[in-house]
Structure 1
Amino acid sequence: MRNLSAGTVFASILLSVSVLRAQEVPNPPAAAVTADQPAGTRDVNLEVFINNVSTKMIGNFKQRSNGSLVATAGELREVGIKPPAHVDDATLVELGTLPGLSYQVDDPTQRLYVQAGDKQRAPHVISVRQQEEGKVPEPQSGYGAVLNYSLYASSNSLFKNSSDIFQGISGSFDARIFSPYGTLSQSFIAGYSNGSLDGVTRLNTTWSYSDPKNLLTYRAGDLTTGGLSWTRPVYFGGIQFQRNFSLRSDLVTEPLPAFAGTAAVPSTLEIYAQNVRTYSGDVPAGPFEVNNLPVFSGGGQATVVLRDSLGRETTQTLPFYSSNLLLRRGLLDFSAELGVPRRNFGTESNDYDNRIMGVATARYGLTDWLTLEGHFEGGVDLLNGGVGAAFPLGGWGVASVAGAASKSSDRSGSLANASLELSYDRWALYARVQRAFDDYDDIASVSAKPTTSTAGGLAILSAGVPRAIDQVTLSVPTPLDLSSLNLSYTRLESADGTKSKIASLSYNQTFKHTTFYATAFTDLEERGNFGVFAGLSIPFGSNITANTGVQSGPDGLGLVADVSKSMQQENGSFGWRLRTSEGQNTNREAALSYRAPFGQIEAGVQQQDRDARAMLRLDGAIAAAGGGVFATNRIDDAFAIVDVGAPDVEVQQQNRPVGKTSQSGRILVPNLNSYEPNTVSIDPKNLPVDADVPATKEIVVPADRSGVVVKFGVAEAPQAALVTIVDKNGAFLPAGLSGRLQGASEDFVIGYDGQAYIRGLHARNSIEVSFEDGTKCHGDFPYKPQRGEQVVIDNVRCF
């Protein structure tokens, strides 16, 4: 058995190997001598048998004048023979020089019989998850713009006599312009109260462009720097050059399990991961390897079942562990930024540090069992750099270690970090330890402005690197099914010496359709900070759920109860919520929400103690694309303008209804995923019977937060008919033949009973049908449209 690695498990499945004798063959095969090879050398094509079992492959060999056979290393590997190590595929290899291998040639049957052990045989490789670039659809992007908005308005107290019941309105906005050349986005927040505008705060202004072929994303403007688990990303104003694996939805970056074994006879192989069958297929006799096996993230077990033609089974269960801390061998992940740090994001529009800084982060899969990490950041008065590594712990988990050092002006320091992930059966453990020594600095600590209180001038915000971080999370199995018990502990010592130790315990248990949950936490440094909550969650169907519980904390004991109906994604759905919290602080609220084609509306009333307020919220978007302007629900990612060509047609996304087309025959579908295949379909049941529907389903892959136009091309007056075509004897023409209407650019196909659906008809029409033997026949028929009915034309003779 080969060594196990995280995400890659090698298992030997040993079966008894039948030893079959090679047949004695008297003569070498006959073959022609080619002009470009030495005299006496012949090209021969032989069916290859290994240990008297056919590989079902024919190999191309060269036979020399002394009767010996040679072939390229690549050809030998293709037919199941292992060539010498470190030999190029084009190198010629003489079969007689391979140790532990013997062969005979049968001239009359043109067969090559090879006797070889498993070490002399090239394994049959099965790649379960193909990563072929040609199968990835090309992303699409049009031209257009989107404005997302979220508006919130509230009233003054409803119990006080006030002439001005309106308190104010606030809103957050996200605008973007997209094109094939990238996306320019701008977000900001604004407010209005007391009859005046409270001001506008700019958030992000960013241009981005992605290259799916090379998996790269470029950004300019406001951005977040890349980082690792032991670094602190910061807001930047500048440029970024970054690897982006999410541009390929089919790409798996983690090492995937691979199983190796040997079959004595042709067999069937099945592999189960967490009791789910992930692969089933045939394997020939001899060694085999199964690569790129999709598994679940985290720890688990894989069961390998090998079944021969007699039904005999060999089963082996093996642990595996898949983690995003590891990269597959040869993969490089990186991010590089240059710019100035941004401060007070969300409260200040243009607060930038005036010092230019640079950041570079990289991860590289040196092997499937070792991922290297590196990080550098610095600029004026700062140099910071570190390295790390992540590696598997057999099939049980993953560990990582890292170290870094910094120098800032006359300050210097270092940092050490280590983490551990373990999983066995239903046990799971995560632990992390980090220590900062001396005066360790990074960009976040040297560029931040400390906030001070008005009393005493003491800093109340520490932007420095924490002196110590200790984290432990343990998931413990319980005797009951559908239950979980989790314990966690976090110790944090900030740069200014403030300490906290938070311990928590949570438990979940599901009984049929009811879930019981309980959580308790406390700060061991300040025992006054504690909380306990326990409750029940009960679903009632129709998306209605009831929750009730009891909570205890520094404010005393409280009871909580709420009943809610969740709103669905399709237009016209609604939801509601009733909630009460009884205790020292009383809080009651009621809300009603509705999803309209133009956005989502929520209205509610909230009572806190003896005060009550009303609120109203509207979330939506305005999009301009495909030659139209649409008011719709929020568009956080990509969207599609679906042009059906007919009104009141139901449109579905991923087989889920999203609405019906308007009078213009179009609808905007807002919830598409960028760089992933999205299925958009229509339900033609509301179309007229004479409508022409070329397709009912399309698959689109939109680019980054862009819009695409999907045209189904439905025509309500298609000038088409269902035509029955017969030969000169009156017999139906065979199904599968193709024909063409005179003057048309596309063929039609004849189905059963000689029927063909033909478009583009005129008052008089001529057709030509091609037979399998190359002959053709011709026919003529008249056509008269019948509004609202499917035109049927019978007995068109083709001579």
Structure 2
Amino acid sequence: MSACVSAVAAPAWAHGLEPIAVEFRLLGNDAAVEAIAWRRGDEIYAAAETLRALGISASTNQSEPSPLSDIAGLSYRFVEADQAVEITCASACFAHQRVRAADPEMTPLQVGVGGFLNADLVATYADEGGGQVSGAFDLGLFRPGGRGAIAWLMGAEAGALIRLDTAWTFDRPNARQSVRLGDALAPATASGAAFRFAGVQWGTEFAVDPSFVPFPLPTFSGEAAAPSVVDLYINGALQTRQRVDAGPFDLTDTPVIAGGGVAQLVVTDALGRQQNVTAPFYASPSLLRAGLTDFSVAAGATRRNFARASFDYGDAFALGAYRHGVTDWLTAEARLEVSGGASLVGAGLALARPTLGEVNVRVAHSETRLGDGQSLGMGWAWQGARFSFAIDAETTSDDFSRLGQEDTARRRAQGTIGWALGRYGALSLAAASQETTAFERVETWSLGFAPPAGRLGALAINALHVDDGEQAFTTASVTFVRPLGRRGSASTAVQSDADGISVRARAQRATPAEGGWGWRIGAAQGETRRWEAAAALRARAFEARLEAAHAAGADGLRGQFESALVWIDGATMIARPIRDSFALVDVGVAQIGVLHDRRLIGRTDQHGRLLVTGLRSYDQNRLGVSLDDLPIEASIAQDEVAVRTGARSGVRVDFAVAEGRAGEVRIVDENNDALPEGAVLVRDTDLARFPIGGDGRAYLSAVVGISTLVAEAYACRVVVTSQALDEVEPLRCVR
């Protein structure tokens, strides 16, 4: 009988290689990895995963070890006595790093179930016209996954109600998309206009992800010979600081201002050695990141006489708009409109370069029953820290037509120039010319100068000239604004025009965010005399303002009242008008200060609740409570939470405030010896910590019912009840 011997066959690359267990040491980086190496003569081979663990560039698809001598920029020596491989690596052999300058962590989206009804009532009275009452109403409904809205106006005539919008919206934050059913607004693009319609719309919605920047942010590259700190300066101001390992790196998603500028990278290693890299950049919100797509598809009927008629719709239509980032410096777009005997197709390109600025070109062709038409436009802009300019021109043929634009300008041109003059202030010049299909032409010129005014305030000098072909007028003004405290300001303006010289003065104070009074007073002297006064109140459940004015011998009054009925997750209350997102904060204790982004926004009512309005939809909002307002016997698990909710939606935020008794107790061990000073007791119910002072005494708060305290580092427990706070005898901590 023959004997059979089985063995695992070695891979082909292992023939002639001797496996050895070594320690790889990367000199200068304090990096070491214990791994299997292979040796053939004086050559050392290492696996790809070993190289990557050291931060050395290695192919992710490589299955066999590489000879170290084949890696560019790497030298090594084998220390036989230590069974170690000491590696010296130039920057070329390190793996390329991509470091994000900004990577915010977003909390999960939270949306409650509920709704709100906004009411905005306005009453006016004038000597000549008498009194009138009008209003606007806005009903919003929301739940996880969608939200609805119905808005209407109440005219001055009794019973005159006009519907504005009716829609249900499904937002998809993870896909940065939105679907809307009902009344909507078609997007404006380079070759098409925005217009109102009723139907269905699906498209990109970057607003549902505020942490994402859709336009390309500059990437700055550098090299570090050793682990270092990288400081990024934009136009001389520090923007971010990041740590990098040795080797080449790319700093991506850097926060920069729109326009052109100069970036400086300062790389500092542990020994304080620095290297500087300077590079120009240009960031344009008109572009999309490479590979990113922005689209919108809509179909329905165009809306006519918005805010004047409830159900006045025009022809049916279908629309598609598409933008795509071809590269980080070039974005292309296309648009197609089809509507009842009319159609439009358009295209455009936009590019931005540090040495050129922004350039855009767009073309469009339309076909209607009246004929075909074309449109051609282009623009060029540069926005810098000290100098900016923008020019844009568009020409169209007589029969060109766009959805949403009944009177398209035949020719239009405009330009602006701005200079930052340093200690001399700032200067701006603007000009515009437009000619309509009716051959009406309007030209406008404006000049602005803002000299420095120091701590006194702000000074502005402006001039305006308008010529419509039939008549022309020119005005010039000087305005000075001085701040008054945190929320107030006073201004004075002198204006000269064809009617003579007029002088205006105004002082005002804004209502505080947490609630309170605001006011405004003003007067003008010129061709006519005018004075005005206004008071505003922001209360817990409403906002109100009253205005009075006198001009040309006539008096007028205007009063406005805004409030909202809100219901969310079973709770109903009256609150300030809901204009975006909101949160119902429930503390459970009355008169506790509530903070929004660490700024006092109001105090809880008698039920311990406060409706916080003005949250940024889909963005991270920090809500907290003022610990100084809590009773001393109360405890709270956390005094601040991060909240993120949808547009025109609400969320309920409960702060677990536990009320109970508070008092001092004395803790002893099983030998009746006081627990030493510095020991810490941890409560099992809420993990609250209580330090022990002299003679084993500890002050306990929020004691409710029965709980157990564990003495850290002493492995003993003490049972505490609210009645124990009244006892004279010490509490025993037993094992």
Using the size of structure 1 for normalisation, the TM-score is 0.82
Q: Is the 8 A contact 2:195 2:403 kept in 1?
A: yes
CA–CA distance in 2 between the matches of 1:175 and 1:248? Answer: 25
Paired with 2:385 and 2:337, the residues of 1 have a C-alpha distance of 41
With over 3 angstroms needed to count, the CA separation of the structure-2 counterparts of 1:476 and 1:602, relative to structure 1, is: same
Q: 1:34 to 1:254 in 2, by over 3 A?
A: farther
**Deviations 1:372-394, CA, capped at 9 Å, x for gaps:** 22222223322322222222222
**Which stretch of structure 1 is more off in the superposition, 517-526 or 673-682?**
517-526
Matched, 1:471 2:432: no
Distance change in 2, residues 1:126/1:57 (3 Å): farther
Q: 1:172 to 1:609 in 2, by over 3 A?
A: same
Task: Tell me, in whole angstroms, the C-alpha distance in 2 between the residues paired with 1:395 and 1:419.
Answer: 16
Q: Which residue of 2 aligns with 1:201?
A: 162
The one-letter amino acid paired with 2:419 is V
1:556 matched to which residue of 2? 500
Q: How far did residue 90 of structure 1 move?
A: 5.7
Q: Which moved more, 1:141-150 or 1:521-530?
A: 521-530
- Contact 1:396/1:424 (<8 A) preserved: no
Q: Distance in 2 between matches of 1:323 and 1:632?
A: 40
2:429 & 2:717 partners in 1: Cα distance? 81
Contact map agreement 1:428 1:475 (CA 8 A) in 2: yes
Match of 1:491 among 433, 449, 462: 433
Q: Residue by residue, what CA displacement relative to the aligned partner does 1:270-314 show, whole Å, maximum 9, x if unpaired?
A: 221233322224444443322222112223322222334554433
CA contact (8 A) 2:94 2:246 kept: no
Give the partner amino acid of 2:333.
E
Q: Which residue of 1 aligns with 2:147?
A: 183
In structure 1, what residue type is equivalent to 2:222? G
Query: Which of 157, 175, 190 is matched with 1:229 structurally?
Result: 190
Aligned partner of 2:102 in structure 1 is 129
Deviations 1:39-82 (A, max 9, x none): 657877766556x533625386663778662534x764564434
In structure 2, C-alpha distance between the alignment counterparts of 1:59 and 1:508, rounded to whole Å? 67
**Paired residue secondary structure (1:685):** helix
Q: Which residue of 2 aligns with 1:147?
A: 117
Aligned counterpart for 2:31 among listed residues 41, 45, 56 = 56
Q: Deviations over 1:383-424 (max 9, x none)?
A: 322222222222562222222222224622222222222134
The residue type paired with residue 71 of structure 1 is: A
Show the counterpart of 1:530.
474
Counterpart code for 1:640:
A
The separation in 2 between residues aligned to 1:268 and 1:652, in whole angstroms, is 35
Q: Work out whether 1:276 is the aligned partner of 2:251.
A: no
Q: Which residue is 1:69 aligned to? A: 45
Q: Which residue does the alignment assign to 1:521?
A: 464
For residue 643 of structure 1, what is the aligned residue in structure 2? Answer: 586
Residues 579 and 733 of structure 1: CA distance in aligned 2, closer, same or farther (over 3 Å):
same
Q: Please report how far the alpha carbon of residue 485 of structure 1 lies from its aligned counterpart in structure 2 after TM superposition.
A: 0.9
CA contact (8 A) 1:600 1:619 kept: yes
Q: CA deviation at 1:619?
A: 2.1
Which residue is equivalent to 2:3? none
Judge conservation of contact 1:335–1:360 (CA < 8 Å) in 2: yes
Unaligned runs of at least 5 residues, structure 1:
1-32, 446-462
Deviation readout 1:83-127 (Å, 9 max, x if unpaired): 4xxx65465563455567565544554544456654444334322
What amino acid sits opposite 2:47 in the alignment? Answer: A
Q: Following the alignment from structure 1 to structure 2, what is the Cα–Cα distance between the partners of residues 531 and 604? A: 28
| Residues 365 and 631 of structure 1, relative CA distance in 2, 3 Å threshold | same
Q: CA deviation at 1:637?
A: 0.4
SS at match of 2:452: strand
**SS of aligned partner of 2:207:** helix
In the alignment, which residue of structure 2 is the partner of 1:392? 352
Alignment gaps of 5+ in structure 2: 1-6
- Residue by residue over 1:726-774, the C-alpha shift from the partner in whole angstroms, topping out at 9 and shown as x without a partner, is 5445363797978665xx6x655564557585867547x66666759xx
Distance 1:736 1:211 in 2: 51
Aligned-partner Cα distance in 2 for 1:349–1:369: 45
Q: How far, CA to CA, are the matches of 2:518 and 2:704 in structure 1?
A: 51
The residue that corresponds to 2:723 in the other structure is 784
CA drift at 1:609: 0.3
| Aligned amino acid, residue 139 of structure 1 | L
Once residues 583 and 793 of structure 1 are traced to their aligned partners in structure 2, the CA distance between those partners, rounded to angstroms, is 85
Structure 1 segment 608-627 matched on structure 2, within 5 A:
608-627=551-570
1:795, distance to aligned residue in structure 2 (A): 4.9
Answer yes or no: is 1:634 the counterpart of 2:577.
yes
**Aligned pairs for 1:698-717 within 5 A:** 698-717=641-660
> Equivalents in 1 of 2:517, 2:62: separation in Å?
67
Structure 1 distance, partners of 2:283, 2:650, is 35
1:668 pairs with 2:611: yes
- Residue 588 of structure 1 and its aligned partner are, at CA, apart by 2.1
Alpha-carbon distance, 1:475 to partner: 0.3
Deviates more, 1:307-316 or 1:670-679: 307-316
CA–CA distance in structure 1, aligned partners of residues 277 and 271 of structure 2: 19
Asked if the contact 2:581–2:646 (Cα under 8 Å) also holds between the matched residues in 1, the reply is: yes
Partner residue of 1:94?
66
TM (norm. structure 2) is: 0.89
Amino acid at match of 1:426: R
Cα distance in 1 for partners of 2:492, 2:704 equals 67
1:478/1:104 CA distance change after superposition, 3 Å: same
Residue 781 of structure 1 contacts residue 796 of structure 1 at CA under 8 Å; is this kept in 2? no
Q: Residue in 1 aligned with 2:287?
A: 326
Give the direction of change, closer, same or farther, for the CA distance of 1:716–1:92 in structure 2 (3 Å limit). Answer: same
Residues in 1 aligned to 2:579 and 2:18: alpha-carbon distance in whole angstroms: 66
Contact 2:502 2:526 in 1 (8 A): yes
Which AA in structure 1 matches 2:211? D
Aligned to 1:502: 444
Name 2:597's counterpart in structure 1.
Answer: 654
User: Residue 590 of structure 1 aligns with which residue?
Assistant: 533
Distance in 2 between the 1:112 and 1:150 partners? 77
2:450 and 2:460 in contact (8 A); partners too = yes
- SS of the aligned residue for 2:423 comes to coil
Verify the 8 A CA contact 1:266 1:282 in the aligned structure 2.
yes
Q: Deviations over 1:5-28 (max 9, x none)?
A: xxxxxxxxxxxxxxxxxxxxxxxx
- Supply the AA of the counterpart residue of 1:94: S
Alpha-carbon distance, 1:207 to partner: 0.8
Displacement of 1:698: 2.0
| Aligned equivalent of 2:4 | none
- In structure 2, relative to structure 1, the CA distance for the partners of 1:479 and 1:758 (3 Å cut) is closer
- Report the secondary structure of 1:246's partner residue: helix
Question: Which secondary structure does the structure 1 equivalent of 2:313 belong to?
Answer: coil
Give distance in 1, aligned partners of 2:650 and 2:278: 47
Q: What's the % identity of the aligned pairs?
A: 26
Is 2:258 aligned against 1:297? yes
**Does the CA-based 8 Å contact 1:740-1:769 persist in structure 2?**
no
Listed one character per residue, the Cα deviations across residues 522-556 of structure 1 (whole Å, up to 9, x for unaligned) are: 12444523322222112232533221112233443
CA distance 1:155–1:783, change in 2 (3 Å): closer
**Number of equivalences:** 719
SS at match of 2:360: strand
Instruction: Give the secondary structure class of the aligned counterpart of 2:657.
Output: coil
Residue deviations 1:351-384, cap 9 Å, x none? Answer: 11132x1122222222222222222222332232
Q: Tell me, in whole angstroms, the C-alpha distance in 2 between the residues paired with 1:192 and 1:619.
A: 17
1:237 CA drift (Å): 0.4
Q: Is the CA contact 2:639–2:655 (under 8 Å) kept in the aligned structure 1?
A: yes
* 2:56 equivalent in structure 1: 81
Task: Classify 1:762/1:542 alpha carbon distance in 2 versus 1 (closer, same or farther; 3 Å).
Answer: closer
Counterparts in 2 of 1:627 and 1:510: CA distance versus 1, 3 Å: farther
